[in-house]
Amino acid sequence: MDSTSYDYAVVGTGAAGLHLAMAMATDKFFDSKKILLLEKSQKDVNDKTWCFWEKGVGKWDGIATKIWDQAQFMATDQQINLNMGAYRYKMLASFDFYTYTKNELRKKSNFAWVNVEVGNILCDKITTIETNGQAYLAKHVFDSRITPNFYNSTDNYTRLLQHFKGWIIETDEDVFDDTSFVMMDFRITVPNTTCFTYVLPINPKMALIEFTFFSPSLVEDEIYENLLSRYVKEILKLEKYKIVNREKGVIPMSDYPFHKDNNQHLTKIGTAGGWVKPASGYSFKNAERYSQRIVDNIKNNRLPSYKLVNTLFRKYDTLFIDVLYHHNQLGVGLFETMYRKNEAHKILAFLDEETTRVEEFIIMNSFSRWPFMRALFKKIFS
């Protein structure tokens, strides 16, 4: 048993754990607190690329791989230049984020790190974190491990998956316009499925091309490979290119009540805490936002998880993923309608849960030709 009694312990230093640790490290209130970070892996590889949007200058601009001010949406029959307003779309390599945050956190003497796999966490007056051979005590634990119940529960929750494969490709000639990225391209799809390509030009000779599905189940690896290679050939019209890196991922888009595992001594964070926006699969920016809310809650003597998730927006999300889960063939039409009828910056604000009820009504009203959607919206508002 480690005899130190920590004020806070963070299990897992991925996106959420590091955002939370950084939010604590940059607030003087926590200078007198002992904080323990427990992580099973070395976090010394670039295991993913994070993208997110925010207005103007942000905390991570200094380590961003690329920032875009312009974007396009490629409908089946039309290119739509998106009006991003004040939003900028940013790309960050996870390795750069791990390295930068680890260096910053190592400067703080009240933070301790242990490289260990956490087992059971026993919540009592003081919480015990068990690992193979050692136990740690903390007043409150933030846990980024996804509960097995999420996968095993037989309850009727919607479990849509955002699953994708990306290639970083390099060319000899300048072929990409790196001033702009493609949010969604529906010109190559699999019939009756919600899927699209996402294109992020890093420089004129290099781009990340990702083929993404929002669907109930995964597909074989060769399907992503074929679709990516078709996109490069038929849409980008490239014959000569090199694949310099590949990225694959699965992100749950679900209404599973992750928050139910929170209690006085433990708060689930990140994907495990339901921080992934169900309707979009994005969570990097939520992790920054929710970590700040946790810090504010602690400073105001509230439960750390107090009002982390906005319940009205969760209802919108639930509706959207429910439609896509049961009518996966409708995704193309729904996204095309949304981007044809609304300014992109309004959609981004809506996804950030920062719109007014009137703005939400306007976005929903764009789907008025979809009768079943109207009925479902009525259900939400009632």
Other C-beta atoms closer than 10 Å to the C-beta of 242 total 12
Minimum CB distance to ligand FAD, residue 340 (Å): 24
Helices (H), the chain: 15-25, 94-106, 148-152, 221-230, 284-299, 311-326, 331-341, 344-351, 357-365, 371-381
Among 6, 10, 14, 75, binds ligand FAD (CB under 6 A): 14
Name the residue nearer to ligand FAD (CB basis): 211 or 367: 211
Q: Is residue 12 at the binding interface for ligand FAD, with CB under 6 A as the rule?
A: yes
Under rule CB under 6 A, which residues in 214-253 are in contact with ligand FAD?
247, 249, 251
Q: Is residue 283 at the binding interface for ligand FAD, with CB under 6 A as the rule?
A: yes
Among 284, 316, 320, 367, binds ligand FAD (CB under 6 A): 284
| Tokens (6 digits) for 358 | 């009137």
Other C-beta atoms closer than 10 Å to the C-beta of 154 total 5
Minimum CB distance to ligand FAD, residue 91 (Å): 8
Name the residue nearer to ligand FAD (CB basis): 146 or 236: 146
- Residues whose CB is less than 8 angstroms from the CB of residue 41 and which lie 6 or more positions away in sequence, other chains included: none
Pairing of strands 87-93, 5-11: unpaired
Among 11, 161, 168, 376, binds ligand FAD (CB under 6 A): 11
**Full DSSP string of 192-242:** TS-EEEEEEEEETTEEEEEEEEEESS---HHHHHHHHHHIIIIIS--SS-E
Minimum CB distance to ligand FAD, residue 77 (Å): 27
Name the residue nearer to ligand FAD (CB basis): 118 or 332: 118
Q: Is residue 41 at the binding interface for ligand FAD, with CB under 6 A as the rule?
A: yes
Q: Is residue 127 at the binding interface for ligand FAD, with CB under 6 A as the rule?
A: no
Under rule CB under 6 A, which residues in 50-69 are in contact with ligand FAD?
50-52
Minimum CB distance to ligand FAD, residue 239 (Å): 28
Binding segment toward ligand FAD, per CB under 6 A, in 6-14, 75-83, 174-182, 297-305: 6-14
Residue with structure tokens 């976090």? 43
Name the residue nearer to ligand FAD (CB basis): 144 or 254: 144
3-state secondary structure at position 355: coil
Binding-residue total with ligand FAD (CB under 6 A): 28
CA–CA gap between residue 194 and residue 292 (Å, rounded): 34
Among 48, 265, 327, 345, binds ligand FAD (CB under 6 A): 48
Determine contact, residues 277/317, Cβ cutoff 8 Å: yes
Measured from each CB, the residue nearest to ligand FAD is: 14
Binding segment toward ligand FAD, per CB under 6 A, in 1-9, 15-23, 153-161, 359-367: 15-23
Dihedral of CA atoms 33, 38, 41, 45 in degrees, nearest 10, equals -10
Among 9, 75, 84, 118, binds ligand FAD (CB under 6 A): 118
Name the residue nearer to ligand FAD (CB basis): 198 or 306: 198
Name the residue nearer to ligand FAD (CB basis): 16 or 206: 16
Determine contact, residues 345/86, Cβ cutoff 8 Å: yes
Count of positions (residues) in the chain: 382
3-state secondary structure at position 98: helix
**Full DSSP string of 270-307:** GGGGT-S-TTT---HHHHHHHHHHHHHHHHTTS-TTTT
Which amino acid makes up residue 23?
A
Minimum CB distance to ligand FAD, residue 72 (Å): 18
Q: Which residues bind ligand FAD (CB under 6 A)?
A: 11-17, 38-41, 48, 50-52, 117-118, 144-145, 247, 249, 251, 270-272, 282-284
